[in-house]
Amino acid sequence: MLHANRNSALDTAVLLTLDAAGVAFALFDGDGMSVETSRSFDALSALPTEAQRDFLHDRVLAAVSRALSGEDVDDHCDLGGDGEQSDAHCRRLTARRVDGADATRVVVWLSDSSDAARAEAHAKANAARAAKAEAAKDQFLATLSHELRTPLATILGWTQLLKSRSPDATTIDGAMATIDRAARAQLRLIDDILVAARVVAGALRLERRKVDVALAVSRAAEAVRATAESKDVRLQMALEDDCFVDGDPGKLEHVAFHLLGNAIKFSARGGSVRVLVGRDRARQTATISVSDDGVGIVAELLPRVFDRFTQGESGLTRAHGGLGLGLSLARHLVEAHGGSIDVESEGPGRGTTVLIRMPLAS
């Protein structure tokens, strides 16, 4: 509270006016002892915990001592709810020495800077996120260039070979098959980018009809079978008949293709991928389970596997290729069908299981 014990009536009137205006100030004498404090100063000093109050009190006294030595003090005191420093309770502390004709005083002003501190922290967090997004974009563009260039190089190489000489029928058949695979790989990359763009723009559309889940998964399996055979990875399929959902057959095949492709990609040579399609009658859902015995996923990465461009450490990304869009697109497409998708792994070298649930068609 303000104590009107000044000798000068004018000084007292000024202090009373500042107090009434809500200015948070305190006066200290030349010995560093408190002379007067305003109600606003008392209010801002009334922090929730004793630890906070003691911390602020010590900072005020330290500021008074510095001001008496001739320093202009401008401090920022951050205090958390438990007394530890954070931006939960922030005070700006300003102290100035005033030399009068009869005495030296120190004036201390206190202000609540919690909102400003939070705004600054928010701005810093946004800047960090923007920098991270920019780095992810640069990495994505570099990866995209590589992934697009690879099938193009294959197509160009074989077409130049076919033009440069008269190959036999076997060579022509092999070249055409290789060119076909490369062209389809590039088409899938472009499709992924277009679907991702539609998801980001909120423009994803589904052409719904009654879809045979086993058929969609079988078609996806055929699309990746050559890749599996090239790595000697066994595809073990157990597909339940009469399992239908209300959805877009092309989009569901797209989902299954990515799940199978990822499982094969991260499987060791000679490994196996197990694919199960069935019905959970208790939940009235169709289920798609894709399991592999490959590299697995570290626990720290599991919460982020559905983020775009996530493929674990960059070494894995470079070793296995891909844009890192597969699981992100799968999640968006599954959720657009009213379903859910979950990933489980017991850790590095222990394989991965992806489980999809979607409502059965009525």
Position 8 scores a pLDDT of 56
In the chain, residues under CATH classification 3.30.565.10 are 206-362
Asked whether the beta carbons of 88 and 114 are under 8 A apart, the reply is: yes
Label residue 36 by pLDDT band (50, 70, 90).
Answer: confident
Return the SS3 of 248.
coil
* Rounded Cα gap, residues 221 and 359, in angstroms: 22
* Residue that wins the pLDDT comparison between 248 and 145: 248
Question: Which of the two residues, 308 and 283, has the higher pLDDT score?
Answer: 283
pLDDT at 242: 87
Would the pTM count as exceeding 0.95?
no
pLDDT at 168: 86
User: What per-residue confidence (pLDDT) applies to 79?
Assistant: 66
Mean pLDDT of 247-270: 92
Q: Could you report the per-residue pLDDT of 129-179, keeping only the tens digit for each?
A: 888 878 877 777 777 777 778 888 888 998 988 888 788 888 888 889 889
- Those residues whose C-beta lies under 8 Å from the C-beta of residue 336, and which sit 6 or more positions away, are 204, 206, 251
Position 28 confidence tier, pLDDT thresholds 50, 70, 90: very high
Which of 38-42, 305-309, 342-346 is predicted least confidently?
305-309
Better-predicted residue by pLDDT, 256 or 7 = 256
pLDDT of residue 9: 56
What is the rounded (10 degree) CA torsion for 177, 181, 186, 192? 150
In angstroms, the CA 117 to CA 340 distance is 39
- In which band, very low, low, confident or very high, does the pLDDT at 260 lie, cut at 50, 70 and 90? very high
Q: Which two tokens stand for residue 354?
A: 């992806």
Residue 318: pLDDT above 90?
A: no
The CATH code belonging to domain 9-112 is 3.30.450.20
Distance CA 157, CA 243 (A): 44
pLDDT at 81: 47
Token pair 């922030």 in the structure block, residue:
90
- Closest by CA to 354, choosing from 300, 306, 298, 299, is 306
CATH class label, 130-204: mainly alpha
The class level of CATH for 206-362 reads alpha beta
Considering the chain, what is the average pLDDT of its residues? 83
Region(s) of the chain under CATH 3.30.450.20: 9-112
pLDDT of 87 > 50? The answer is: no
